[in-house]
Amino acid sequence: MSSEKYNPIPVIIGVGQVNDRDEQNKASLSLDSLGLMEAALRAADLDAGGGWLGRLDSLGVVDQISYPQLGDVSAPLAQRVSASPRICYKSGYASGDSPLLLLNEAANRIGAGEIRVAAIVGGEALRTAARRAAAAVPGGASADNAVRAVALRRGPSYRHRYGLVAPVDVYPLYENAGRAAYGQTLAQGQAESAAIWSRFSEVAESNPGAWLRRRVSADDIMTVSAANRPIAFPYCKLMVANSSVNQGAGFIVTSLTEARARGIGDERLIFIGRGAAAHEPVDLMARANYAESPSMSVSLRKALELNGLATGDLDAVELYSCFPCVPKMARRVIGWPLERAASVFGGLTFGGGPVGNYMSHAVVSMVLALRRNGRHGLLFANGGLATHNHSMVLSRAAPAPNIFPQDFNFQAQADALRGPPPPVEEDYLGPATVETYTVLYDREGLAQQGAIIGRAPNGARFIAKVPAADSATIHWLTSGEQEPVGMPGTAVKGADGDTWWLRPVR
């Protein structure tokens, strides 16, 4: 193969995913995260015609949290599939944007001629890990506990004192701020979330790779019930990521020349378009506001612009869906209609929420969807606490030559759009207004406490709690009778030493 004829345009040639449902209820026989990754890689190799794993130059692995004792599994995984990649690594941590970051890096290396064949894979066996832990210590671990434990390892922090620890505690803050900014009532905001999620369930129902393959009505999604308990206001169980899964997914990338030399037909080739990434401040309290994300806007808009596409050119999208606030923000950025499904996999509730590896399943599903029909698909990934954003286009149409390697970091543009954050006064006491809020519930559906981010008259930001015993204020926050965002209250020193929120008597 002469260098003059070599075409380094990166293409996806093989995709694979696996669900280990443990239907016989024998956790000891189920795959761990490493086993799921191996199974997904072998499925991707089979989809590509076989024989690619032994030719890998690069193996990128999405970090997993199910079995922390395994550490970096990239080298053991390569050994399992008889690969000897000279580039072998995992993502920095389990973040929702990791699969697209690894894909963009692989595309850059192929475009630069540094490598010929790459694989990206991830897997989480949180369901099995929790059951094994519970068997060892009755009443022990759960998938939710594992996610929360990872979040706690990054603390302690100011917000942790007020119950804002795991993603499920924090994302409702964006939801409630966004609803107020959109001018919606609580009922309207919940109806939008339920409509998006119901369409996710329709996608999952017809997707063999989805974890929960059943259609759920919008009414059932937004109605609190024994099977749909409240988690963190305004989210119920059917609105949040389902991490209690055993899922693995991966894909193989090579150059157009390599693909054609191995006899892969054009009808199976999916071209990788340019990507765009940007992030928000890691510190929740350092965001300019909670109703929008400049980095999300830049990531989505630049991805479309770089690929010469408008929203109307897209046949399908995957808008990250750990919680409703994210696809609701994203669809407003690109003008994606509510009546069209915002996922090709089924969303993190129904498709499954394997922590940082969800977008690998989205890549698999987008490749399969484009092979069946359509030309262009948009992938939008979100990680951290609505912090990291990465968007990419996949297409049946070949992109312009020599677009890779590309610099996909558009942080400067995002920073230019972001206003300055307010100062933080952790010990503020006195009159204030609600900037955003949530109420956290226990597994029986009882309110544990409310958490309010408030703004002092001088603009300073602080956090206050609402004790569960203050049922009147909990009701005020959750009833929908009045929009709490923007309403006044008073920050006082509580009996536990933390700041408490008192609603003025009317």
What distances in angstroms separate CA 98 from CA 113, 149, 274, one per listed residue? 23, 20, 16
- On whether residue 208 sits in a domain, the answer given is no
Q: pLDDT by residue (tens digit) across 175-207?
A: 999 999 999 999 999 999 999 999 999 999 999
Closest CA to 235 of 135, 299, 156, 166: 166
Segments forming the whole domain that contains residue 480: 430-502
- On whether residue 82 sits in a domain, the answer given is no
**Residue 369: predicted pLDDT:** 98
Average pLDDT over residues 371-382: 97
- H/E element holding 376? strand 376-383
Average pLDDT over residues 297-306: 98
Asked whether the predicted pLDDT for residue 473 surpasses 50, the reply is yes
- On whether residue 450 sits in a domain, the answer given is yes
Higher-pLDDT residue of 345 and 148 is: 345
The residue to which tokens 């690619």 are assigned? 52
Tally the domains of the chain.
1
Task: Judge contact between 7 and 257, C-beta under 8 A.
Answer: yes
Q: pLDDT by residue (tens digit) across 20-52?
A: 987 655 655 689 999 999 999 999 999 999 999
Round to whole Å and give the CA distance between 319 and 342. 6
Average pLDDT over residues 231-251: 97
Parallel/antiparallel/unpaired status of strands 461-467 and 316-319: unpaired
- On whether residue 346 sits in a domain, the answer given is no
Parallel/antiparallel/unpaired status of strands 488-493 and 447-455: unpaired
Average pLDDT over residues 253-281: 97
- On whether residue 78 sits in a domain, the answer given is no
**Residue 147: predicted pLDDT:** 77
- On whether residue 51 sits in a domain, the answer given is no
**Residue 132: predicted pLDDT:** 85
Closest CA to 7 of 185, 195, 260, 178: 260
The pLDDT confidence band at residue 142, using thresholds 50, 70 and 90, is low
- On whether residue 434 sits in a domain, the answer given is yes
Parallel/antiparallel/unpaired status of strands 58-61 and 117-125: parallel
What is the CA angle 49-51-52, rounded to 5? Answer: 90
Asked whether the predicted pLDDT for residue 140 surpasses 60, the reply is no
- On whether residue 490 sits in a domain, the answer given is yes
Side-chain-side CA neighbours of 448 within 13 Å: the count stands at 16
Burial of 174 (0-12, 13-18, 19+ CB in 10 A): buried
Closest CA to 305 of 180, 205, 406: 406
**Residue 7: predicted pLDDT:** 87
State the helix-helix crossing angle for 358-372 and 98-111, rounded to 10 degrees. Answer: 60
Cis peptide upstream of residue 234 (ω within 30 degrees of 0): yes
**Residue 1: predicted pLDDT:** 43
Range 245-278 burial, b when 16+ CB lie within 10 A, else e = bbbbbbbbbbbbbbbeebebeeebbbbbbbbbbb
When computed from its CA atoms, the radius of gyration of the chain, rounded to whole angstroms, is: 23
CATH label of the domain that carries residue 467:
2.40.50.840
Round to whole Å and give the CA distance between 95 and 494. 36
Q: What share of the chain is helix, strand, coil (3-state, %, to 5)?
A: 40, 25, 40
